[in-house]
Chains A and B, each alone.
Chain A
Amino acid sequence: MKKFAFNRAETLEDAVSAGASAGVRFIAGGTNLIDLMKENVERPDRLVDITRLPLGEVKRQADGSLSLGALVSNAAVAEHPLVRGHYPLLSLALLSGASPQLRNLATVGGNLLQRTRCCYFYDLATVCNKRTPQTGCAARNGINRQHAILGHSQACIAVHPSDMCVALAALEARVRVLGRQGERTIPIADFHRLPGNEPEFDTILRAGDLITAVELPSNDWSEHSHYLKIRDRASYAFALVSVAVALQLDGEYIVEARLALGGVAHKPWRLESAELALRGQRTSNSSYQRAAETLLQGAEGFEHNRFKIELARRAIVRACAEAAKGTRR
């Protein structure tokens, strides 16, 4: 671990201006950043502690949306009555991730910014374009069970590890960001990026940008939603494939659907065309299968993860069927 300076941001403006300098990282829960620093993957010169900033509230807004402060812990979001009541999909996704200890520390903002768990990214003895641009990708011909089947590039086949973000994608959340040019709102679909030729960038954030909140639109999909996470053990494992699905039903017919996949790409994987494929269809496996085919179009696996394509197909069908039965609470 490299030596670093440390200071606490007293105001939002402080944080943004400090964060704009090279080599500065914000730290809140630190559940991912500290690990990466220990392995010398992240080597900040300065950590700016943002935990005293006023970003710790969950509140209903005038337009009916729900704002989750960037510093609210994952545990607090998952257990919040408004989240449990109106966005059970998010609660379920959060509770399927990490461990209670980690969820108590990890924050909303940090969850959005957590980095891939690709073993090669973590291991300085190997090459990794995400860690050090233009060095190569050891995962492509290596142990790639956990890796992407969609949206990957020659440069990078890593996946985004978050469960929360998959639910946020299905719920069409918005990320509130304070930057040097003021505040702006980024749709979750645009927040994370595909690796392309610049896998070192996970998101579209710029230096100094501080996530202040995540907003959940008022359409809460609470009646028919499900989060299905498939992994190699019952808990405390990253998803091989996860599915966030939310349906609006009229009897046996699907009025509207939202569908996102985790564990398969550099960002939560969501395609409007797959959701349109469900619109107006009966709640049946064949409808779900068609949506799955659409969502998985172009999927391409590697030596150790080709099974994910079929697994994702089956997981989508299962998750949709579960959602159609009504949200489990």
Chain B
Amino acid sequence: MISLPHFPEHLQKLGPHTGKPLDRVDGLAKVTGKALYAAEHHRPGLLYGVVVSSSVARARIRSFDTADALAEAGVVQVFTHQNRPKLASRSKKWRDQDTPKGSPFRPLEDDRVLFSGQPLALVVATSFEAARHAAALVRIEFDEIEQPETRLLERLGQGKAPGRAKGGFTPPPGPHGHPQQALKSAFARVNADYLVSAEHHNPMEPHAATVFYEEDGSLTVYSKTQGPVGEQAFLSAVLGLKKDRVRVLAPFVGGAFGSGLRPQYHLVLAAMAALELKRSVRVVLSRQQMFTFGHRPYTWQHVALGAERDGKLVSLVHEAVAETSKFESYVENVVTWSARLYPCPNYSLNHRVVPLDVYTPLDMRAPGAVTGLFAIESAMDELAHELGMDPLQLRLVNYGEKDGLTGHPYSSKELRACYQQAAGRFGWEQRWSEPRGRREGSKLVGWGMATGVWDAMQVPASARARLHLDGRLEVASATTDIGTGTYTVMTQIAADVMGLSLESVEFKLGDTSLPEAPLQGGSFTVASVGSAIKAACDGLRDQLFKLAQKMPNSPFYARSQAEVEFRDGRLGLPGHPEAALSYAQILRQQGVSVLEEEVKVLPNLLKQRGYSLATHSAVFAEVQVDEELGTIEVTRMVTAVAAGRILNPKTSRNQLLGGMVWGISSALHEKSELDLELGRFINHNLAEYHIPVQADIRHLEVVFVEEQDEIVNPLGIKGLGEIGVIGVAAAIANAVFHATGRRVRHLPIRLDDLL
């Protein structure tokens, strides 16, 4: 059971629509099937491409035998590296908006096999069934099949600094003070290693691209992506087409979680085939093929903590060694969170990567933070136990009023209130200190808590607002809605700024013909695109006001804009209802058919300078563990989140619940099982790759903590995409320890860990 929502009154409002738990504006379209996803767009004559994946991880291709496949009725072509049309040859052209250092993977590049599941051929046919059947008839002979390098733990010593960084990565600074010395002389110490499994994103909608070949030879691409703008640039570079010859659309995205941040190989193959065949082509990946590209990297961590008798940290060591591919050096922020969260005079942080024969890892919901917070928040729990201290008290003793790395104050940080309110709802003051201290029948009961933290980011974004003569407002930006509620909250912002009803506002997204928007990731969409929408609407207000002033006998003639109000589709003067004019009236009278404003909004770096910007959460979890059988149930969980202004408590709560469920999933279920001999993720289906089912989810509760922030961005929004999942696994692991006295330092925790 998930607790019924109660939405606090304090959620600040821009107008009547923001801060309210409104239903999704696209909800009806989704539940009635009118919302079309990438693989659902159709035109007569569409061809279907099916990818042939490599069965080996490391080899050279000797030969293809495509005769049987080509002989099948309906098969149009089989593309391999031997007959593919020319694609960009320079590595630089294959870079996208989320590329780490290295040389991006190029499908059908040459005879080298770099990872298991690599696309080696594309079979194109007039029906999906024919293509799929023919794909099974393609025979590939390999030479030089070699044992893939897959063993991270045997190569920990060979980790390399990731070097030039990927966007969003902050390399950990060098050591501060004397962490080793301080550790030695500390009153209490923790010294432990932690392991986080590889995971795959597994959105409900598999990756797909439907590429329509237009009469003029340009491409219209329906894609599953978190960034149409980036895909347009990528496709144009890779295919050697002018940007205006490629239009990418993603009106609906069935979940992505980071898997849509980088263009994947199916997109290249579909577009390449369409151009070459001068036909429209669709390529959809199978669920099995969803395990053949990016994943959350398998990561080893070491944490050492030293503390005074009162719990104050004197030493903090956090090191990570993560896998990457042989061709790219993927990296994420794993270790810096510790020192930011817990200011400590002596610290040492380190992050290294080990190249293996796997595909490059890829940002996956709260990349790095899910991993790093599991380790540091488990270690803090271990330290609390060493000290005989309440784990929450230990966090409060080490509470960072300032960012422990930069020394900057936070633009806002209501983490203390998160602790307090979540602990209150959970009943933490009833906690018993000794592990194995409570039993219910055959079950041991345990409570655990942890902290979550994520960056509050804003990046450049553009938006356009158009007010029509009939009073309709059309707002647009080429962002996406990956299931988060973007359609809804952007509509709310525009409606409130313009003083319109939700029904009179239409928000368009997911189309490169619209103003540029960034990738939808990092929890920065609402802060970035929302700010642009607000600015565009503010611009419309200025224009409307000026038009109104120019009208003959205008009641606004001698007024300033600060004196007027934009309300219910009318421009008015408070106290003078007779003066009010509808927007349509103003436009009509002034002979304007449509009023338009397009803006690009950048973060106000001047205002943000000298501040640390972050979202925080506190997670409290209860588990019951069957002592004999080891089975674990998360019976209760409360998360309190401080994320600035909450625009829509319903969609926000929805995101946070999803995050909490995913936290349970990473704590107890998810694991991409890499067969070390084969270098192949072997549980590549949703029967064997476990995520929780409904029966695993019990009482979940979300608390929104009031947080006012005038610095982070004009809307005071911090974003919620990641924060819900962060810290959950540690809270559960800590609860498992409290229940059983067994400390499990790897994820997922499964029953055999507790037998």
Please report A residues at the B interface, Cβ cutoff 8 Å. 1-3, 39-40, 117, 119-120, 122-126, 138, 141-143, 145-146, 230, 232-238, 240, 307, 310-311, 314-315, 317-318
Given contacts A1-B133, A311-B755, contact A230 B631 (CB under 8 A): yes
- Best-buried of B133, B669, B675, B693 by chain A (most CB within 10 Å): B675
Q: Quick check: B55 and A117 within 8 Å, CB to CB?
A: no
Q: Quick check: A119 and B55 within 8 Å, CB to CB?
A: no
Q: List 29 A-B contacts (CB under 8 A).
A: A1-B133, A2-B136, A123-B682, A123-B684, A125-B53, A125-B55, A125-B116, A126-B680, A126-B682, A138-B678, A143-B673, A143-B683, A146-B688, A232-B669, A233-B696, A234-B633, A234-B695, A234-B696, A235-B693, A235-B694, A235-B695, A236-B693, A240-B751, A311-B630, A311-B752, A311-B755, A314-B628, A315-B629, A317-B628
Contacts of A317 in B (CB 8 A): 628
User: Contact string, B416-434, partner A, CB cutoff 8 A, digits 1/0?
Assistant: 0000000000000000000
Closest chain A residue, CB of each to CB of B750: A232
Closest beta carbon of chain B to A24's beta carbon, Å:
19
Q: Quick check: A138 and B129 within 8 Å, CB to CB?
A: no
Contacts of A230 in B (CB 8 A): 629, 631, 751
Q: Quick check: A233 and B690 within 8 Å, CB to CB?
A: yes
Contacts of B56 in A (CB 8 A): 125
The CA of A316 and the CA of B295, in the complex, are separated in Å by: 39
Closest beta carbon of chain B to A98's beta carbon, Å:
10
Interface status of B677 (Cβ within 8 A of chain A)? yes
Give chain B interface residues in 675-728, CB to chain A under 8 Å.
675, 677-678, 680, 682-685, 687-688, 690, 692-696
Residue among A124, A141, A146 making CB contact with B55, cutoff 8 Å: A124
Interface status of B224 (Cβ within 8 A of chain A)? no
Contacts of A315 in B (CB 8 A): 629
The CA of A311 and the CA of B626, in the complex, are separated in Å by: 12
Q: Quick check: A141 and B677 within 8 Å, CB to CB?
A: yes
Q: Quick check: B132 and A1 within 8 Å, CB to CB?
A: yes
Closest beta carbon of chain A to B634's beta carbon, Å:
10
Given contacts A142-B678, A143-B682, contact A119 B693 (CB under 8 A): no
Contacts of A237 in B (CB 8 A): 690
Residue among A40, A122, A125, A235 making CB contact with B680, cutoff 8 Å: A125
Contacts of A40 in B (CB 8 A): 136
Give chain B interface residues in 113-135, CB to chain A under 8 Å.
116, 129, 132-133
Closest chain A residue, CB of each to CB of B748: A232
Contacts of A143 in B (CB 8 A): 673, 675, 682-683
Q: Quick check: B693 and A120 within 8 Å, CB to CB?
A: no
Closest chain A residue, CB of each to CB of B628: A314
Contacts of A235 in B (CB 8 A): 693-696
Contacts of B755 in A (CB 8 A): 307, 310-311, 314
Contacts of B133 in A (CB 8 A): 1-3
Contacts of A138 in B (CB 8 A): 675, 677-678
Contacts of B683 in A (CB 8 A): 119, 143
The CA of A318 and the CA of B690, in the complex, are separated in Å by: 25
The CA of A142 and the CA of B669, in the complex, are separated in Å by: 19
Contacts of B288 in A (CB 8 A): 39, 123
Give chain B interface residues in 715-755, CB to chain A under 8 Å.
750-752, 755
Contacts of A1 in B (CB 8 A): 129, 132-133, 136
Given contacts A138-B678, A143-B675, contact A117 B687 (CB under 8 A): yes
Q: Quick check: B688 and A119 within 8 Å, CB to CB?
A: yes
The CA of A255 and the CA of B414, in the complex, are separated in Å by: 66
Contacts of B628 in A (CB 8 A): 314, 317-318
8 nearest A-B residue pairs (beta carbon): A125-B55, A234-B695, A307-B752, A235-B695, A143-B673, A119-B682, A234-B696, A314-B628
Contacts of A123 in B (CB 8 A): 288, 680, 682, 684
Contacts of A146 in B (CB 8 A): 688
Q: Quick check: A311 and B751 within 8 Å, CB to CB?
A: yes
Closest beta carbon of chain A to B661's beta carbon, Å:
12
The CA of A318 and the CA of B687, in the complex, are separated in Å by: 27
Residue among B688, B692, B696 making CB contact with A117, cutoff 8 Å: B688
Q: Quick check: A314 and B629 within 8 Å, CB to CB?
A: yes
User: Contact string, B127-149, partner A, CB cutoff 8 A, digits 1/0?
Assistant: 00100110010000000000000
